Chains A and B, each alone.
Chain A
Amino acid sequence: MANIAEQRIRREFKEVVKSDEVAACNIRVELVNDTYTHLRGEIMGPPDTPYEGGRFQLEIKIPETYPFNPPLVKFLTKIWHPNISSVTGAICLDILKDQWAAAMTLRTVLLSLQALLAAAEPDDPQDAVVAQQYKEHYEIFRRTALHWTSTFANGPKKDKDYDDKVTSLINMGFEEHKARVALSTNQWDLTRAAEYCLS
Chain B
Amino acid sequence: MAQGSPDGHSSTLCKYFMHGACAKGTNCSFSHDRTTPPDLVCRFYLKGQCAYGDRCRYDHTGKQKSKSSDLGKTAFRETSSKLDFKSTPEKKDKGWSGPVRTPSLASIRDSEPLKSNMVPLGKEKEQTKVSTPKSVTKSPEEWVKAKEFTPGQFYTGAVAPTYASAVGTAENEENEIPNGFYAAEGASWDGAMAAAPLSPCGDMSQTDASLLCPYLMGKGECRYGDECGYTHGDVCDMCGIAILHPENPAQREEHMRECMEAHETDMEHSFKVAASREKTCGICMDVVLEKEPVGGRRFGILENCNHCFCLTCIRQWRCAKQFEKVIVKACPECRVNSNFVTPSNLWVDNPEEKTTLIVTYKQALKDKPCRHFDQGRGECPFNDSCFYRHALPDGSIAPSQPRKPRRRHNAEGELQRVLGINLWDFLESEELRREISQIEDSLEIMNYLAMELFDDGMFVIESDEDELNDSDY
Q: A residues engaging B (CB < 8 A)?
A: 4, 7-8, 11-12, 67-69, 98-104
The answer for the CA separation of A8 and B286 in the assembled complex, in Å, is 8
In chain B, what residue has the closest Cβ to A99? B327
B332 CB within 8 Å of chain A: yes
Chain B stretch 298-346: residues in CB contact (< 8 A) with chain A: 307, 313, 316-317, 320, 322-324, 327, 330-333, 335
Contact B313–A69 (Cβ < 8 Å): no
- For the complex, give the distance between the alpha carbons of A102 and B300 in Å: 14
Q: Is there an interface contact between A101 and B332, defined as CB atoms closer than 8 Å? A: yes
30 A-B interface contacts by CB (under 8 A)? A4-B284, A4-B313, A7-B285, A7-B286, A8-B283, A8-B284, A8-B285, A12-B285, A67-B283, A67-B284, A68-B283, A68-B320, A69-B320, A98-B323, A98-B324, A98-B327, A99-B327, A100-B323, A101-B327, A101-B330, A101-B332, A101-B335, A102-B283, A102-B313, A103-B282, A103-B307, A103-B331, A103-B332, A103-B333, A104-B332
> How far, in angstroms, from A103 to B327 measured CA to CA in the complex?
12
CB-CB < 8 A to A67: which residues of B?
Answer: 283-284
Chain A contacts of B323 at CB under 8 A?
A: 98, 100
B283: chain A residues within 8 A (beta carbon): 8, 67-68, 102-103
Supply 14 further A-B pairs (C-beta < 8 A) apart from A68-B283, A102-B332.
Answer: A7-B284, A7-B286, A8-B284, A11-B285, A12-B285, A68-B320, A98-B327, A100-B327, A102-B282, A102-B283, A102-B317, A103-B282, A103-B307, A103-B332
CA distance A99 to B330 in the complex (A): 11
8 closest A-B pairs by CB: A103-B332, A102-B332, A101-B332, A103-B282, A103-B333, A102-B283, A102-B317, A11-B285
A98–B331 Cα distance when bound, in Å, is 15
C-alpha spacing A99/B313, complex, angstroms: 18
Q: Closest CB-CB distance, B279 to chain A, in whole Å?
A: 14
Q: Is the interface of B mostly helix, strand, loop or mixed?
A: loop
B316:A68 contact, CB within 8 angstroms = yes
Write out the residue numbers on chain B whose beta carbons fall within 8 Å of the beta carbon of A69: 320, 322
In the complex, which of the residues A68, A69, A100 has the most CB atoms of chain B within 10 Å of its own CB atom?
A68
Question: With the chains together, A67 CA to B322 CA distance in Å?
Answer: 13
Contacts of A101 in B (CB 8 A): 327, 330, 332-333, 335
Q: How far, in whole Å, are A100 and B283 apart by their CA atoms in the complex?
A: 12
B438 CB, nearest partner CB in chain A, Å: 53
Q: A69 CA to B284 CA in the complex, in Å?
A: 13
Minimum C-beta distance from A48 to chain B (A): 29
Report the nearest B residue to A69, measured CB to CB: B322
How far, in whole Å, are A44 and B404 apart by their CA atoms in the complex? Answer: 53
Nearest A residue (CB) for B307: A103
Please indicate the chain B residues that have their CB under 8 angstroms from the CB of A8 in the complex: 283-285
Chain B: CB-nearest residue to A9: B285
Distance between A72 CB and nearest chain B CB, rounded to angstroms: 13
A56–B322 CA distance with the chains assembled, in angstroms: 30
Q: In whole angstroms, how far apart are the Cα atoms of A98 and B307 in the complex?
A: 21
Chain A residue numbers with a CB within 8 Å of B285 are: 7-8, 11-12
Most buried by A among B283, B285, B327, B335: B285
Chain A residues with CB under 8 Å of B284's CB are 4, 7-8, 67
How long is the Cα–Cα vector from A11 to B284 in the complex, in angstroms?
Answer: 9
The smallest beta-carbon distance between A94 and chain B, in angstroms, is 10
Q: How distant is A4 from chain B, measured CB to nearest CB, in Å? A: 5
Q: How far is the CB of A164 from chain B (nearest CB, A)?
A: 49
**Which chain B residue has the least Cβ–Cβ distance from A4?**
B284
- Measured between alpha carbons, how far is A11 from B287 in the docked complex, in Å? 12
Chain B residues positioned under 8 Å from A99 (CB to CB): 327
B317 and A68 form a contact (CB under 8 A)? yes
**B 162-186 binary contact with A (CB < 8 Å = 1; else 0):** 0000000000000000000000000
Kindly state the separation between the CA atoms of A51 and B181 in the bound complex, as whole angstroms. 85
A12 to B283, CA, bound (A): 11
The distance in angstroms between the C-alpha atoms of A99 and B323, with both chains bound, is 8
CB distance from B332 to the nearest CB of A (A): 4
Closest A residue to B330 by beta carbon equals: A101
How far does the alpha carbon of A101 sit from the alpha carbon of B314 in the complex, in Å? 11
Q: When chains A and B are docked, how far (Å) is the Cα of A149 from the Cα of B436?
A: 75
Chain B residue numbers with a CB within 8 Å of A103 are 282-283, 307, 331-333
> Taking the nearest CB of chain A, how far is it from the CB of B307, in angstroms?
7
CB-contacts of B179-232 with A (<8 A): none
B178 CB → nearest A CB, Å: 61
Which of A8, A67, A100, A101 has its CB near the most chain B CB atoms (within 10 A)?
Answer: A101
User: A67 to chain B: closest CB distance in Å?
Assistant: 6
